[in-house]
């Protein structure tokens, strides 16, 4: 390959590499991965919040300028107003360009290698995983309601239709962004630091759980378990499709059901769950992981880089 051609395609991953070690190419140096991971987490903390706050301020100035801004701000980020959910989801969506820039600027690797080892989104697998997630996650949710003897009372919250538009249009984007950053860039950057792919899976899952804010041990464990299962799926299937599907279905259904039964604000305010609830959450994700991996095998997708000769 000529120098100009190499510059055009970017630094290529090692032939036969698993997804977590795509960045361990010929020009790999360890400090690039460490620098990228630290810078990426810093941008997650700083930039997503700045973008969200700017959007809420814009919404207030355009639609409620005569209303107290501190009150509007509090209500928005408590998800009592659709503008707050919209701003939060779009703020998190900035993780996609952040991950792309880190891939290109720090590693000189084309961002498409974040999608899968092919390197692209494998649409049949993504669409199949979405169907599996709808069945598995909602099936376990229904089972948990029966075990807890909880009767869901459908009582549409005020302003539900505005929230529904935001949920359908931006919650998938928010879920994709988190997967691209945590199970994509962060898993690859950390997974490339050592010779064993599991390192990126474990550390990225811990960071994912910690960055979800205040939470009791059971809720932290549930989020950590999701991160670990999602990371293992990425490693074993060679792409982000399955975790993206699970994350989209979980978020859209959770907020949709909350808006039709209790309120979206009450779901947003949850900081504690019981160990029984955590067990059902983890069980749902585990069932999805097993079925998604079985689908991967049926579709005969690759899980390692296979460069053209």
pLDDT in tens, 163-206: 999 999 999 999 999 999 999 999 999 999 988 889 999 999 99
Q: Residue 210: is its pLDDT beyond 90?
A: yes
Please tell me the predicted confidence (pLDDT) of residue 149. 58
Look at residue 276 in the predicted model and tell me its pLDDT. 93
Q: Provide the β-strand partners of residue 304.
A: 18
Q: Residue 22: which residues within 8 A CB-CB, separation 6 or more?
A: 13, 109, 113, 117, 188, 192, 305
Specify the pLDDT at position 213: 87
pLDDT of residue 147: 79
Chain mean pLDDT for the chain: 93
In sequence order, what are the residues at sequence separation of 6 or more whose Cβ sits closer than 8 angstroms to the Cβ of residue 9? 110
User: Would you place residue 25 in the very low, low, confident or very high pLDDT band (cuts 50, 70, 90)?
Assistant: confident
Predicted TM-score (pTM) of the model is 0.94
Measure the N-to-C terminal CA separation of the chain; round to a whole number of Å.
Answer: 11
pLDDT at 81 over 70: yes
Q: Would you say 222 and 175 are in contact if contact means Cβ atoms under 8 Å apart? A: no
Checking if the pLDDT of 7 tops 60, the result is no
d(CA 226, CA 208): 9
pLDDT at 150: 63
For residue range 233-262, list pLDDT tens digits in order. Answer: 999 999 999 999 999 999 999 999 999 999
Cβ–Cβ under 8 Å, residues 271 and 216: yes
What is the pLDDT, as a whole number, of residue 26?
A: 77
CB burial string 178-204: b at 16+ within 10 A, e below: bbbbbbbbbbbbbbbbbeebebbbbbb
User: Is residue 283 a contact partner of residue 143, using CB atoms and an 8 Å limit?
Assistant: no
Cβ-proximal residues to 158 (8 Å cutoff; 6+ apart), any chain: none
Residues 64-68, mean pLDDT to the nearest whole number = 92
């Amino acid at each position: 390959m000529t120098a100009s051609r190499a510059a055009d395609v970017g630094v290529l991953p090692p032939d036969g590499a698993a997804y977590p070690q795509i960045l361990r190419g010929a020009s790999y140096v360890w400090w690039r991965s460490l620098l990228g991971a630290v810078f990426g987490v810093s941008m997650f903390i700083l930039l997503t919040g700045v973008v969200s706050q700017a959007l809420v301020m814009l919404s207030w100035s355009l639609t409620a300028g005569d209303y107290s801004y501190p009150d509007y701000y509090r209500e928005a980020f408590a998800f009592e107003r659709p503008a707050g959910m919209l701003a939060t989801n779009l703020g998190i969506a900035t993780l996609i360009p952040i991950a792309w820039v880190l891939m290109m600027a720090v590693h000189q690797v084309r961002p498409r290698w974040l999608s899968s080892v092919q390197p692209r989104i494998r649409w049949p697998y993504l669409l199949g995983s979405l169907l599996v997630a709808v069945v598995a996650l909602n099936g376990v949710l229904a089972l948990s309601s029966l075990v807890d003897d909880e009767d869901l009372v459908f009582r549409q919250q005020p302003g539900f239709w505005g929230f529904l538009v935001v949920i359908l249009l931006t919650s998938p984007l928010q879920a994709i962004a988190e997967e691209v950053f945590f199970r994509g860039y962060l898993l690859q950057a950390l997974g490339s630091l050592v010779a064993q792919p599991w390192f990126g899976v474990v550390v990225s899952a811990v960071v994912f759980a910690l960055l979800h804010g205040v939470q009791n041990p059971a809720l932290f464990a549930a989020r950590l378990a999701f991160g670990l299962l999602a990371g293992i799926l990425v490693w074993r299937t060679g792409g982000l499709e399955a975790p993206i599907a699970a994350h989209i279905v979980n978020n859209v259904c959770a907020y949709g059901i909350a808006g039709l039964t209790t309120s979206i604000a009450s779901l947003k305010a949850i900081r504690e769950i019981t160990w029984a609830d955590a067990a059902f959450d983890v069980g749902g994700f585990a069932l999805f992981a097993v079925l998604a991996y079985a689908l991967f095998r049926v579709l005969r997708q690759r899980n390692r880089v296979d460069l053209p000769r």
